[in-house]
Amino acid sequence: MTTEMNGLLIGCGFFSGNHLHGWADVEGARIAAVCDRDADRARGAAETFGIPAWHQDAAVLGSGAFDFVDICTTMDTHEALIAQAVDAGVPVIVQKPFAPDIETCLRIEAHARAAGVPVMVHENFRFQKIFRRLKEILDSGEIGETTFARLSWRNDIDVYSNQPYLLKTERFMIMDVGIHMLDLARFLMGDAADVTCLNQSVRPGLAGEDAATILLRHDSAATTIVDVSYAAHRHPNPFPQTLGEIEGRDGTVQILEGEILRIHSGGATRDEAIAADTRGWTSAPWTQIQDSVPRTEQHFVDALRSGAEFETSAQSSLQTYALAEAAYRSAASGRLIHIADLM
Ligand code: NAD
């Protein structure tokens, strides 16, 4: 039996419960301590999840007690926390958004690479079961070379109650949800070179955009449309489903409500229903997202143990965050932005 790796989780706020439940489902690792500068939150998380120790200061990273750190704080804190981990030689998994702009992402990645410390971005959408299956279908060649994708996230879930900081976030929707779609676009369609984008602030009083329409040109010459909105009223509310389609030279896969993939190929159509695993701790409507968290964490642990590259390593994620940066610059300037000019 392999010994379990000991992790420190930093940030015991809204989303951290999913991380902590998730770690309990992961093989080969456990959370040995939690940390939050808010003592009540740190103590509360330790008590709720039966974790032996809690701390208020991330300086505990230097104690030598941890094989990895899971950073579940908002993006403005990531550069300083990752630097502390890297300087202590502790491998990192850090929640999306990696950082608020591409310059900060580049600095974080360069610092980690120079120190030889592995860093992975916790990007869980590509680990949803439905997108693992969709990728398998694309890789099988069933619909031929891909030419077009649309990835759409439109709902009116009240994110503002659980995550009030989003009301004041200037780079809001593209960083909060668009980044998941941009990573999915890269996962399913490959890297992209050019970006245009239009942003909207639909709900009054926001510091940033709550809707965006992004157009990507992939290196393969395929195009992807990403459209995201937290101001789209539908009943029933499709949260948290990503919908859309992928077209290839020989067929199409539609991503439909109810976690259904409809595959059109060879003159026929078939549906595959891909349900997230139900775990004891998941609950609707969050199940699909919650289920992807331990899958993401397991990938981190497996790659750390084997020495394999993380799918969403800091280095690879630079491409994703360059797309987000390009989207903001396009929206501000009205121009097409070339990724090569940002890196
Ligand atoms: P939150 O504000 O509720 O919690 C963050 C916690 O981190 C707070 O308790 C804060 O005190 C603590 N913290 C901040 N800086 C710290 C430091 N230097 N040392 C110790 N503690 C510190 O935030 P949240 O809503 O839980 O979101 C955290 C991250 O998770 C965000 O980046 C968000 O975008 C992401 N998120 C991801 C998903 C997903 O599906 N991947 C879903 C929701 C949220």
CA of 336 to the centre of ligand 1 (A): 33
Side-by-side strand order, sheet with 243-248: 268-273, 260-265, 251-256, 243-248, 146-154, 223-229, 211-218, 192-200, 337-338
State pLDDT tens for residues 245-267: 999 999 999 999 999 999 999 99
State pLDDT tens for residues 11-48: 999 999 999 999 999 999 999 999 999 999 999 999 99
Count the helix, strand and coil residues of the chain and give each as a percent rounded to the nearest 5. 40, 25, 35
Cα-based distances in Å from 258 to 254, 272, 285: 12, 10, 12
To test the ligand 1 pocket, which listed residue (40, 48, 74, 177) has its Cβ within 8 A of the most ligand atoms? 74
CA of 123 to the centre of ligand 1 (A): 14
Is there an atom of ligand 1 within 6 Å of 124 CB?
yes
Which residue in this structure is represented by tokens 């997230």?
A: 276
State pLDDT tens for residues 299-324: 999 999 999 999 999 999 999 999 99
Helix (H) or strand (E) holding 93: strand 92-95
Is there an atom of ligand 1 within 6 Å of 56 CB?
no
CA dihedral 140, 194, 96, 284 (to 10 degrees): -60
Q: What is the ipTM of this complex?
A: 0.99
Read out DSSP for 207-270? SS-SEEEEEEEETTS-EEEEEEES----SS--TT--EEEEEESSEEEEEETTTEEEEEETTEEE
What are the beta bridge partners of residue 195? 216, 337
Nearest CA to ligand 1 atom 36: 15
CATH superfamily of 5-122+296-311: NAD(P)-binding Rossmann-like Domain (3.40.50.720)
Nearest CA to ligand 1 atom 40: 289
Q: Taking the domains of the chain in order of start, what are their residue ranges?
A: 5-122+296-311, 126-275+319-341
Which three-class secondary structure state does DSSP give residue 42?
A: helix
Is there an atom of ligand 1 within 6 Å of 51 CB?
no
92 close to 86: Cβ distance less than 8 angstroms = yes
The overall average pLDDT reported for the chain is 97
Nearest CA to ligand 1 atom 13: 11
State pLDDT tens for residues 290-305: 999 999 999 999 999 9
Q: Ligand 1, closest atom to CA 292?
A: 40
Q: Is the dihedral of CA 162, 171, 210, 295 positive or negative?
A: negative
Side-by-side strand order, sheet with 92-95: 53-55, 29-35, 5-10, 68-71, 92-95, 119-122
> What is the pLDDT at residue 88?
98
User: d(Cα 17, Cα 26) in Å, to the nearest integer?
Assistant: 14
Which three-class secondary structure state does DSSP give residue 114?
A: helix
Helix (H) or strand (E) holding 35: strand 29-35
Nearest CA to ligand 1 atom 44: 15
CATH topology of domain 126-275+319-341: Dihydrodipicolinate Reductase; domain 2 (3.30.360)
State the CB neighbour count (10 A cutoff) for residue 136.
Answer: 10
276 has pLDDT over 90: no
> What pairing do the DSSP bridges indicate for beta strands 260-265 and 268-273?
antiparallel
Is there an atom of ligand 1 within 6 Å of 15 CB?
yes
User: d(Cα 303, Cα 217) in Å, to the nearest integer?
Assistant: 30
CA of 71 to the centre of ligand 1 (A): 8
The two domains 5-122+296-311 and 126-275+319-341 share their CATH topology (first three levels equal): no
